[in-house]
Chain A
Amino acid sequence: MSSFKNWSDNRHDYAREWKKKTGGKVLGYFCTYLPEEILYAADVLPVRIFGQHGSDIGISSAHIYDMYCPFSRSCLAEGLKGKYDYLDGVAIAQSCMHIRQAFWSWQKHLPVEYSYYIYMPHGVQSKGRYEYYRGELVEFKESLEKWLGRTISDADLDKGIDIVRKNKESMRKIWEFRKNDRPSITGLEAMEIVFSSQVTDKREHNEALEQLITELPDRKVDRETGTRLMIIGSEDDDREFTKMVEEGLSLPATFVIEDHCVGSRYFWNDFTPGEDRLASIARWYLDRPPCPSKDWPKRLRFSHIKNLIQEYKVEAAILMQQKFCDPHELDIPALKTYLDELDIPYYLIEFDVLVPAGQLKTRVEAFLETRVELV
């Protein structure tokens, strides 16, 4: 389990070391809609670009608006500070305007060998979406081939699909252990597993996941489970907050499941293989539990959230909305009504990487106090 934490703590060192060891290229990506399978097929290491809690993001103010979400500003700030100086390329698959602006600014101010914008459709419920996105992936593959000076064959794609698929299936297996009355892994550990998956070579990550799967049946977590919490949110890689809730409050609580892209949303749906590899990849990304930015006109993920609540015996939810995340904020009133109908209490936190986690302590603790008898 310590590998996942170490990788999460030292992601830049890992990527630099990987480059040195393999001589390969590293591509930074901005959103989990990016098809990592094709990058693994091309022997390029995809690493997700993250921000940093508590880090000064003022450096980004000259480039993108301060009323863009703190995550997008923080990602750009880390780049401008030189933390990602090892990247050979950057890419994004369209998700929301804020992170796209961070990408465009990165393209302009932090030039790298290769950059690519994938026209991932917003309308993941639209007719013709599969054909459209398959076409975009064909162009992305061709662009990579041009950059790398080599062809990406079907065999390469099978290799890439296999690596990513195995990774996601293993995490799904591990998540089963969070359903236990005493979950075998904490929310913090779960977050580190997914976070590290997005910043390391998945082949190495897969080995660690396999090892963990063998250990989990006998693993005892020496802590009280307390209130079984779910995070429903925008992008959320805030380990500091997660740790504070699970370890730093006077009442016990455990995040047993989440719906966001540094959690179950990253790997939840099954991959359906097919002769047309790119069509299969396109289908997987279009059919995954959607990000709020793509969850319209029908809100498909609400029923998914309901299933998670039931399967993981969730008792209360924390709605973690990145400040200024309009897609998620727009969903909040409907989500609250939905949770009311399910009789699931919730607490909304407007999250900002600049706010020390301690300031949120009283609010979360008071929310937990409403759930239990204090005497």
Chain B
Amino acid sequence: MAQSKDFRDWDQYRWTAPDTDWRKASIVSCGIDIGSISTQAVIMVDGQLYAYSNMRTGSNSPDSADKALSWALEDTDGLSQDDIQYIVGTGYGRINIPMAQRAITEIACHALGANFIYGPSVRTILDVGGQDVKVIQCDEKGKVINFLMNDKCAAGTGRGMEVMADLLSVPLVEIGQKSFEVDEEPEPVSSTCVVFGKSEALSLLRKGWSIEKVLAAYCRAMANRIVELIERLGVQREFAITGGQSKNIGVVKRIEMLLNIEAVKTEKYDPQIAGGIGAALFARALFEKSRKSGG
């Protein structure tokens, strides 16, 4: 029998651009985004995505940063950490990344990363992370104008979805699809508090609800909560979603339906690495600046 921890697991992965020779690059920069659940190390050469890794965050930020960067550097034709000219750390673990020369918040990095991934027309970004939700408004350059964060609890975040995966014995990556396998959309669970949501899900199962129906009710509750936050700040087109939950169609489609706006999509980049991309772009700009000033 599968252990409960298996259901919350997701595939960790790495990637290298196949046709890029980093040795010809003027600037190799890196962004390391240590989130509460996942860590990404993103390497860019002259502002273009070159390699990245995405893995589960460990209990120790410096160790997580080291592992993610080492993995991103694998299969990069001899590229080493010494060849990286500037590293920016971001995410909640940003202050504990020994190899980073600068720390910048994930809010600024996600905005810049979304600008890179989806283009300069993006004005509102939703980042649903492991333990928080952020709504960000930015200008055409990806500079943050305003933002809102949920506070205090992990309700409506990736962590809550993990708990539900364990409870219902449904692999995390299948939750989105399964949540649509219902005859009609049920009422949302009354609370997206992780603890109360878990209790209510159990109660619904005892009432005879199918797992799919409970998932639909939970995804809807999570979407409701996120949309409340978005509407407090206001949504402007283009609207983009980043972070791990951007891959959960059960939540994403319900958010789009509630807002009556379709989020921009791309097959080219992984939206979960938006923060790392933003950090790597900041790293590049900061290195250029230091080079110009002779630093």
Q: B-contacting residues of A (Cβ < 8 Å)? A: 250, 350, 352, 355, 359, 362-363, 365-367, 369-370, 374-375
Whether A370 pairs with B146 at a CB distance below 8 angstroms is yes
- Contact: B152 with A352, CB < 8 Å? yes
Which segment of B15-23, B51-59, B196-204, B281-289 sits at the interface? B281-289
Complex A-B, nearest 4 residue pairs according to Cβ-Cβ distance, in ascending order: A366-B107, A375-B285, A366-B105, A369-B108
B153 to chain A, nearest CB (A): 10
Contact assessment for B286 and A375 in the assembled complex, using a CB-CB cutoff below 8 Å: yes
Which residues of chain B come closer than 8 Å to A350, judged between CB atoms?
151
Complex Cα spacing A366 to B106, Å: 8
Note all chain B residues with C-beta closer than 8 A to A363.
149, 151
| A-chain residues with CB within 8 Å of residue B282 when the two chains form the complex | 374-375
Given contacts A362-B107, A366-B144, A366-B147, 6 further A-B contacts (CB under 8 A): A250-B104, A369-B104, A369-B105, A369-B107, A370-B145, A370-B146
The 17 listed contacts between A and B (C-beta, < 8 Å) are A250-B102, A350-B151, A355-B152, A362-B105, A362-B106, A362-B149, A363-B151, A365-B105, A366-B105, A366-B107, A366-B144, A370-B144, A374-B104, A374-B108, A374-B282, A375-B285, A375-B289
Question: Is B43's beta carbon under 8 Å from chain A?
Answer: no
Q: How many angstroms between the C-alpha atoms of A339 and B89 in the bound complex? A: 33
Name the CB-closest residue of A to B104.
Answer: A374
CA distance A352 to B152 in the complex (A): 10
Tell which of A250, A355, A367, A374 touches B151, judged by Cβ atoms closer than 8 Å. Answer: A355
User: Across the two chains, which residue of chain B brings its CB closest to A345?
Assistant: B146
Asked whether, in the complex, the Cβ of A359 is within 8 Å of the Cβ of B146, the reply is no
Residues of A near B95 (CB, < 8 A) are 250
With an 8 Å Cβ cutoff, the count of chain B residues facing the other chain is: 21
The residue in chain B whose Cβ has the minimal distance to the Cβ of A355 is: B152
Cα A352 to Cα B151 with chains together (Å): 11
Min CB distance B121 to A, Å, is 20
* A75 nearest CB across to chain B (Å): 21
Q: Once the chains bind, are B152 and A359 in contact (CB under 8 Å)? A: yes
Residues of chain A lying within 8 A (CB to CB) of residue B152: 352, 355, 359
Q: Are A369 and B144 in contact (CB under 8 A)?
A: yes
A349 to chain B, nearest CB (A): 8
Q: Which residues from A are CB-within-8-Å of B108?
A: 366, 369, 374
Contacts of B143 in A (CB 8 A): 370
Interchain CA distance A367-B108 in the complex, whole Å: 10
Q: Report how far A362 CA is from B275 CA in the complex, Å.
A: 14
Contact partners of B147 in chain A: CB under 8 A: 366-367, 370
Bound Cα distance A250, B147 (Å): 18
Tell me if B273 counts as interface (CB < 8 A to partner A).
no
CB distance from B58 to the nearest CB of A (A): 19
Interface 1/0s, chain B 146-179, versus A by CB < 8 A?
Answer: 1101011000000000000000000000000000
Task: Assess whether B217 is interfacial by the CB under 8 Å rule.
Answer: no
* A350 to B289 CA separation, bound complex (whole angstroms): 37
Q: Is B103 close to A, CB under 8 A? A: yes
Which residue of the partner chain A has the closest CB to B88?
A: A374
0/1 per residue, B49-80, Cβ < 8 Å to A? 00000000000000000000000000000000
